[in-house]
Chains A and B, each alone.
Chain A
Amino acid sequence: MSVELDVFVGNTTIMDEEVYQLWLDGYTVDDAVAVRMEGGALQVFEASMEVLHSDTMDQFRTFQMCERLLYYPSKLTNQLLFQIPPQKQAMLIERYYEFDSTFAREVLGKKLSKGTKKDLDDISTKTGITLKSCRRQFDNFKRVFKVVEELKGPLVENVQHHFLLSDALARDYAAIVFFANSRFETGKRKLQYLSFQDFAFCAGQLISNWTVGAVDNMMEDMDVDLEKDFLHNLKELKILINDKDMLDQHRNLVCAQLRGKITVFGEMEANFKNLSRALVNIAAKLTHTKDVRDLFIDLVEKFVEPCRSDRWAIGDVRLFLTHYTSTAHSLDSFRYQQIWERYMGVIKSCILKMYHD
């Protein structure tokens, strides 16, 4: 004796947010029932396990049928199959595209291809996120990437427009797309301490300052790639380290500003040339795609780590970078103020974000 068929269809589609989350998290029906039972669903209404099972099955089926529509959320809003109130639709979409930052951190900067998809097994074991959920998140990244990759105009807005996501989530997706496109190295052991949010912040900085769309809002240009001319011009900054006088002058100016203001003054003074060289060399190398990918590892190795070993406080770093940037303007023969400003603005905020344990 068994229930062969069991369906419930409402004119307004009934969706329980809690069950939806369980589905998104990749639970099987049985596991979901177990979780719901632990959550006390049985007490409400003296429901039996059968009832709970039937309800969970129904909803999982509904979500599965909706999934196809969620791939392209605008479809969900004008489909006729399910009558879902707009707030619920928004919830469905937002939740579907939400991701675990631990997962995103693993995938960040990797090519969103089949090869990576095979690694999902490992990521799943490493993060403890179910494989099913990993797949969904990965497919979401890929889908968003594919749609947005070739589009003109601001990245965040494109994501938002095509996937009907909230501003915050759209920004995160923009970061993922940006990282995947430029293939920044994030997997090195030295970078492991950085969280997804750290990188997302940096991506935001890069998108809004270093891409083509950043300077002029020409719609025909893409937001995904860094501006070539700018990167090329960065070479000019080398004068700051190659010209001995300028380097000394720069150091003196910075020291004058910081004297008594930072605890690590001595170390700073001693290390100034190394630090400055590091920062300018990073800039100069950015013309090569390979070096662009190493941007973050370079920043960590060449700047963050030396400072950290000298026990700079974050406040010290901030003061140093602020004055390091601003004093360059006082250098007589330094003509690349604008590029310097554009470069250092991003570098400074990235370093500050990355400067933690």
Chain B
Amino acid sequence: MPGKLKAKIVAGRHLPVMDRASDLTDAFVEVKFGNTTFKTDVFPKSLNPQWNSEWFKFEVDDEDLQDEPLQITVLDHDTYSANDAIGKVYIDIDPLLSSEAATVISGWFPIYDTIHGIRGEINVLVKVDLFNDLNRFRQSSCGVRFFCTTSIPLCYRAVVVHGFVEELVVNEDPEYQWIDRIRTPRASNEARQRLISLMSGELQRKIGLKVLEMGGNAVVGYLQCFDLEGESGLVVRAIGTACTLEKLSGGGATNNAQHTANSSPSKDMKESPKACMSGCRSSHSSPVHGAASRLAQSFSVSYPTLLFSGMGSGGSAGKEAGPLKILLRQQTQTALEQREFPFFTLTSFPQGFLLHVAGVVSARSVKLLDRIHNPDEPETRDAWWEELRQEIKSHARALGCHAVVGYSESTSICEEVCILSASGTAAVLNCRFLQDGCLDVLSEHRCDDSAPPGCGFCHVPYDELNMPFPAQLSPCCCCHRTKVPDVLFTTIDLPTDAQVTGKGCLIQARLCRLKKKSQGEGNATCISNLLPFLEYELHTQLLNKLKLCGMNALFGLCIQISVGENMLVGLASATGVYLSALPSPGGIQIAGKTPNDLTYDQHVSSIQRKINDTIVKNRELYEIHITEVAEDVIGSPIPEPRQRSRLFRSHSESSDELSELDLSHGKKDAFVLEIDDTDAVEDLHSLLTDAPTPPGFYSCNTEIMPGIYNWTSAIQMFTSVRVFRLNNANLTNLGLNKIFNELCENLLKSLYFKLRSMVPCCLCRLNFTVAVPEDELIQVAVTAVAMSFHKDQTQEANKAAQAHSQMKAIAETEEQLQFPLELNAESASPLSPKGSGPQDGSNSHGRAPSVDYSSFADRCSSWIEQLRLRAHTIRRGSIKTSSSPLPEGRSRSLRSTRSFPGSSVSVVKMTPLSFIPGAKIVKYLGIINMFFIRETTSLREEGGVSGFLHAFIAEVFAMVRAHVAALGGNAVVSYSMKECVFMENPNKNQAQCLINVSGDAVIFTRESDQEGHLPQTSHPQPTEDTPP
């Protein structure tokens, strides 16, 4: 009996009128945990009852404490008929089970009803007394901390990073049980909410047990997902990175992450019993294969996709892995090798942890769902994921990497077909770290490591002679010692010490493909046949857009493929940047098929000019000022049509058909776009229709935007959802693409307009999710945070070193010396860039010139002004150098006093980022993981679908805030909306929506603004979250 849970019901307010006659309510409360229920007295005739109940005590196992939520039901007493339920509150008490998290839950919770939404509030107090349980065979894992944050949490340091943990539990979906036919929608929704809450609790407990076995005490980068498989059941699965964390005492909590929190995964991790051998376990089956396996009630089509940057195709990953592996062995006889899955869900790392990054590895497989017969043995689902992970692992090996970072998994389900996807970034981690497990290594490592900090991670981990695929390698532009690829795609955040030129921007590839409606196997085969093309085209689009932006690397790449009845929708988002270490990207050449026609030539050249202009404009916009290396012609808009292939998928041996296709592409130059080709017209269209972000706005889908450091405290998290109906039955791929593209573009435009008063600002962690909820519907949901920054870059320049905690001292000084000495392409005519371009010497200047964004249009027009600006930059550069880097953290420049004025409701900030600008996170209170269902049978009365969803999302926000406030917190970081399933039936006036959100509840404090002489530019009111 290791725990005692105590709950007290204090009061209610704003209750709904339940008795029409008196316009009042006779409310009482049921408090339920496990199978025990307590009741308060009835508080008659009041909409603001004061129960002030005794302490209800539940004596329970800690296993139950972890699994079960505390369930509070508010009812209206009725003497003659059954009591009417007003609504419920589920409280996850997990945060109370760890000594370091919250100690009490106390506050006002919205009373939620799945049919009516929020109906008043209830004030509740909850405490837990835990007794120590030393039983070694216990089933509980109390005290293991969970973090959604995909980096080492800010006030902790990682002693050991143990590695990958995963688990999944399955159950029948209550909505599909026979009983659902006779119970009310409310009962069914509540059964579902409760079940999912129980399953998440169980999942966490099980993962916690794994972590304890490994010797860890926390899970970082915890990612939990639901698969609503419909008839075949409900799957809740989670992955994360097990760590041993140590709380940092006091001081520099804001800037600890990179300086103190180095981590060293230990090798003595426990091997899971089902561990399989290293090496390529080929799980790839051709469609034909899959059909055969139908016998086993499970149709499985899996085809490998290996995406990476700057590398051509051709070779099969599997074949070339051999020689490489030997090479790898020489380098690293590491603990990682012994692991089943050397995966890390983290996306940013302590300094020195990440040695090299090779590129994105991803794998998808198409499965036919079957009924899960025994919920306790979810073997099939486990096996599916294991297969996929093995594939990822072998892809990583083929790239000469022993680890996968920024790893994530996702599914898309339509009827009985399910696409499982896994992706990550193949990387080489510091083997010293892995072996020694000793913290002092960090300093040593800095001195003797051969890779310079700013560019080391770009260096290819494979040997040039033993490349797994033809790729274009060139010497590193920073250190000139090692080879780098010409483009780099990753799923991780930009490493903190990376040297970046200019700013970054959001790059999206969008694609729709029609598909025949079909059932079962046929459907699965059809989808798996389409997938490679979809992925290939997304990739082409990404690369083209990247070039159009004048950039050479993608971070935070996330490719989603959603399946619907009659189409597949692909959306790839990433943040493009110009990595100083990588060569300058080439241009895009347009070619026509009938070169002798004069008008045609004109047409071609006009498009060509348009593209060239766009590149020049984008470079200006993102402040990418490069001086070309003399012998390289890369900067030229019209590169020599040599074979510089870069974007190809590699295929495993099993998909012969695909390899062929690949080869044919390999013969062409990927960047010569032939406009006679319909595909190319499409590409071109999508290239040129992307509207630039309006002045003052930047956007990215990563944690931080390179080039912007001086955030103000004004942040605004938002969720926006759009559903588009395609009424036209005879759509072509082309038309569909156009619609989808416009949908996304218009959504972005709306966001910019909405947030216009926050300018200058950056939309960070722009997270798009697409779904095809019905036949002719496309749903796009976006969650992101808009953060204002001070536009005065002059002031910032000096502060940048201090302001941006993640900027490393050495890198900074180096960068300061790299201001350009001459004018370059941007000021000259785009037609003759060669003349002005080539200068030797430094190749980048890292900081934005001291101009504010608004003046920038004038800026490019004037040659003289250019000169002046350069001078300015140079002058400033020297000031910067003398001021010497201060690795003190962003604290210095961002202080601002802030008080929350006297409202009875405390302000809770929400952000998808892991930090809050200008603030210090002092405590993590626990994970927030909530699942809500809302249903209505009076859709029109609630303002139609928009009114319904608007209210629901606002309610979800409110409930998250209330839970955080009750834990004593004032913010949620790493917030994400992982699921938003919306279904409607306008004819029946009905709609239903499911939302799953998660994040970390934290307490933050503002640093007082005493020394920081902030720019006098518009500084938002300290008390206001939104712009004035």
Name A's B-contacting residues (CB within 8 A). Answer: 1-14, 44-48, 50-52, 54-55, 57-58, 61-62, 64-65, 75, 77-83, 85-89
Q: B753, A47: Cβ atoms under 8 Å?
A: yes
Across-interface contacts of B722 in A (CB, < 8 A): 3, 5-7
Q: Which residues of B contact A9 (CB under 8 A)?
A: 718-720, 950, 953-954, 957
Name B residues whose Cβ lies closer than 8 Å to a Cβ of A: 13-14, 108, 110, 118, 121, 694, 716-728, 739, 746, 749-756, 777, 779, 901-905, 907-910, 943, 945-947, 949-951, 953-955, 957-958, 961-962, 982, 1021, 1023-1026
Chain B residues within 8 Å of A7, by CB: 720-722, 946, 949-950, 953
Report B-chain residues with C-beta under 8 Å of the C-beta of A65. Answer: 950-951, 954
Which chain A positions have C-beta within 8 A of B902? 86
Smallest CB separation, A301 vs chain B (Å): 46
Name the A residues within 8 Å of B726 (CB-CB): 1
Contacts of A12 in B (CB 8 A): 716, 1025-1026
**Contacting residues, chain A, for B1023 (C-beta < 8 A):** 85-87
Asked whether, in the complex, the Cβ of B946 is within 8 Å of the Cβ of A61, the reply is yes
Known A-B contacts A8-B720, A83-B1025; the reply to A45 vs B752 at CB < 8 A is: yes
Residue contact B716 to A5, C-beta cutoff 8 Å: no
Partner of B754, one of A4, A8, A50: A8
Contact status B961-A61, CB under 8 Å: no
Q: A3-B722, A5-B723, A80-B962 are in contact. Are A14 and B1025 (CB under 8 A)?
A: no
List 9 A-B residue pairs with CB atoms under 8 Å apart, sorted by A's residue number: A1-B724, A3-B725, A11-B718, A48-B749, A50-B746, A52-B753, A75-B14, A80-B118, A87-B1021
- Cβ of A82 to closest chain B Cβ, rounded Å: 7
Q: Which residue, of B720, B901, B953, B955, has the highest number of chain A Cβ atoms within 10 A?
A: B720
CA–CA, A78 to B121, complex, Å?
A: 10
Set of chain A residues within 8 Å of B1025, measured between Cβ atoms: 11-12, 83, 85
- Not counting A9-B957, A51-B749, a sample of 19 additional A-B residue pairs whose C-beta atoms are within 8 angstroms of each other reads A5-B945, A5-B946, A6-B723, A7-B953, A9-B719, A14-B718, A14-B754, A45-B694, A52-B753, A57-B946, A62-B950, A65-B950, A80-B118, A80-B961, A80-B962, A81-B110, A83-B905, A83-B958, A86-B903
A164 to chain B, nearest CB (A): 12
Q: Are A77 and B905 in contact (CB under 8 A)?
A: yes
Tell me the complex Cα distance, A85–B905, Å. Answer: 10
Do A14 and B945 touch across chains, with their CB atoms under 8 A apart? Answer: no
- A85-B721 contact in complex given A45-B753, A80-B962, C-beta closer than 8 Å: no
Q: In the complex the two chains form, what is the Cα distance from A6 to B781 in whole Å? A: 10
Contact A80 B110 (CB under 8 A): yes
Q: Which of B756, B950, B957 has a CB less than 8 Å from the CB of A45?
A: B756
B945→A4 contact, CB < 8 A: yes
**A77 in contact with B904 (CB, 8 Å):** yes
Which of chain B's residues has its CB closest to A16's CB? B757
Q: How far is the CA of A2 from the CA of B719 in the complex (A)?
A: 21
| Distance in angstroms between the alpha carbons of A168 and B750 in the assembled complex | 38
CA distance A14 to B694 in the complex (A): 20
A85 touches B1024 (CB 8 A): yes
Chain A residues, Cβ within 8 Å of B955 = 81
**Are B961 and A6 in contact, CB atoms less than 8 angstroms apart?**
no
Q: How far is the CA of A241 from the CA of B962 in the complex (A)?
A: 71
Enumerate chain A residues within 8 angstroms of B1026, measured Cβ to Cβ. Answer: 10, 12, 14, 85, 88
Taking CB atoms, residues of chain B closer than 8 Å to A44 are: 753, 756
Residues of A within 8 A of B777 (CB): 4
A78 near B13: Cβ-Cβ < 8 Å: yes
Q: Which of B716, B721, B750, B947 has the most CB of A within 10 A?
A: B750
CB B123 to nearest CB in A, in angstroms, measures 11
* Given A1-B728, A10-B1026, A61 contacting B950 (CB threshold 8 A): yes
Ranked nearest first, the 3 interchain pairs of A and B with the lowest CB-CB distance are A5-B723, A12-B1025, A10-B718
Contact of A78 among B720, B746, B905 (CB under 8 A): B905
Q: Are the C-beta atoms of A3 and B723 separated by less than 8 Å?
A: yes
By a CB distance below 8 angstroms, the chain A residues around B905 are: 77-80, 83
Are the CB atoms of B943 and A61 closer together than 8 Å?
yes
Measured in the bound complex, the distance between the Cα atoms of B724 and A3 in whole Å is: 5
Name the B residues within 8 Å of A88 (CB-CB). 1024, 1026
- Give Cα distance in the complex from A289 to B71, angstroms: 60
Q: Are A47's CB and B749's CB within 8 A?
A: yes
Given contacts A1-B739, A8-B750, A55-B753, contact A79 B720 (CB under 8 A): no
A1-B725, A5-B721, A77-B903 known; A11-B943 Cβ under 8 A? no
* Contact among B118, B727, B954 with A2 in the assembled complex (CB-CB below 8 Å): B727
| Complex CA distance for A213 and B385, rounded to whole angstroms | 78
**Nearest CB of A to B389, in Å:** 35
Bound CA span A44–B722, Å: 23
> A81 and B958 in contact (CB under 8 A), knowing A45-B694, A62-B950?
yes
Q: Point out which of B725, B910, B961, B1026 has the most chain A C-beta atoms below 10 A from its C-beta.
A: B1026
Please indicate the chain B residues that have their CB under 8 angstroms from the CB of A89 in the complex: 903
Q: A207: shortest Cβ distance to chain B, in Å?
A: 30
Known contacts being A5-B721, A87-B1024, is A11 close to B910, with CB within 8 Å? yes
Q: Is the CB of B957 within 8 A of A11?
A: yes
Q: Please give the distance in Å from B613's CB to the nearest CB on chain A.
A: 18
Question: Given A4-B945, A11-B718, A78-B905, are A83 and B957 neighbors across the interface (CB < 8 Å)?
Answer: yes
CB pair A80 B753 closer than 8 Å = no
- Tell me the nearest residue of chain A to B904, going by C-beta: A78
Among B725, B908, B949, which residue has its beta carbon within 8 angstroms of that of A83?
A: B908
Query: For B108, what are the chain A residues with a Cβ–Cβ distance below 8 Å?
Result: 80
- Which residue of A has the minimal Cβ distance to B694? A45
In the complex, what distance in Å separates the CA atom of A7 from the CA atom of B719? 8
Q: What is the distance, in angstroms, from B582's C-beta to the closest C-beta of chain A?
A: 33
User: Is A82 a contact of B720 with CB atoms below 8 Å?
Assistant: no
CA distance A87 to B1024 in the complex (A): 8
Residues of B within 8 A of A55 (CB): 750, 753-754
Knowing A5-B945, A5-B946, A7-B953, the reply to whether A51 touches B716 (Cβ < 8 A) is no
Bound-state CA distance A314–B211 (Å) is 90
Which among A13, A80, A82, A87 is the interface contact of B121 at CB below 8 angstroms? A80
Shortest Cβ distance from A353 into chain B, in angstroms? 38
Q: Which residues of B contact A3 (CB under 8 A)?
A: 722-725
- Distance between A33 CB and nearest chain B CB, rounded to angstroms: 13
- Minimum distance in angstroms from B960 CB to a CB of chain A: 9
| Residue in B108, B726, B946 with the greatest tally of chain A CB atoms within 10 Å | B946
The answer to whether B954 touches A81 (Cβ under 8 A) is yes
Cβ of B790 to closest chain A Cβ, rounded Å? 20
In the complex, what's the smallest C-beta–C-beta distance from A8 to chain B, in angstroms? 4
Minimum distance in angstroms from B977 CB to a CB of chain A: 10
- A89–B779 Cα distance when bound, in Å, is 33
Known: A2-B725, A5-B723, A77-B904. A54 touches B14 (CB 8 A): no
| Nearest B residue to A85, CB-CB | B1024
Q: How many Å lie between the Cα of A300 and that of B845 in the bound state?
A: 82
- Report chain A residues within 8 Å CB of B724: 1-4
**Interchain CA distance A82-B907 in the complex, whole Å:** 11
State how many angstroms separate the Cβ of B175 from the closest Cβ of chain A.
22
Contact assessment for A8 and B718 in the assembled complex, using a CB-CB cutoff below 8 Å: yes
In the complex where A14-B1026, A51-B750 touch, is A5 in contact with B718 (Cβ < 8 A)? no
A87 to B901 CA separation, bound complex (whole angstroms): 10
Residues of B within 8 Å of A61, CB to CB, are 943, 946-947, 950
CB distance from A306 to the nearest CB of B (A): 53
Q: For the complex, give the distance between the alpha carbons of A335 and B400 in Å.
A: 112
Give the nearest-CB partner of B724 in chain A.
Answer: A3
How many Å from the CB of A92 to the closest CB on chain B? 13
Closest residue of A by beta carbon distance from B752: A45
Q: Which residue of B lies closest to A5 (CB)?
A: B723
Measured between alpha carbons, how far is A33 from B414 in the docked complex, in Å? 39
Which residues of B are found within 8 Å of A2, using beta-carbon distances?
A: 724-725, 727
Residues from chain B with Cβ under 8 Å of A1 in the complex: 724-728, 739
Report the bound CA distance from A292 to B779 in whole Å: 65
CA of A11 to CA of B910 in the docked complex: distance in angstroms?
Answer: 7
* Cα-based distance from A2 to B777 in the complex (angstroms): 10
Q: Is B753 within 8 A of A51, CB to CB?
A: yes
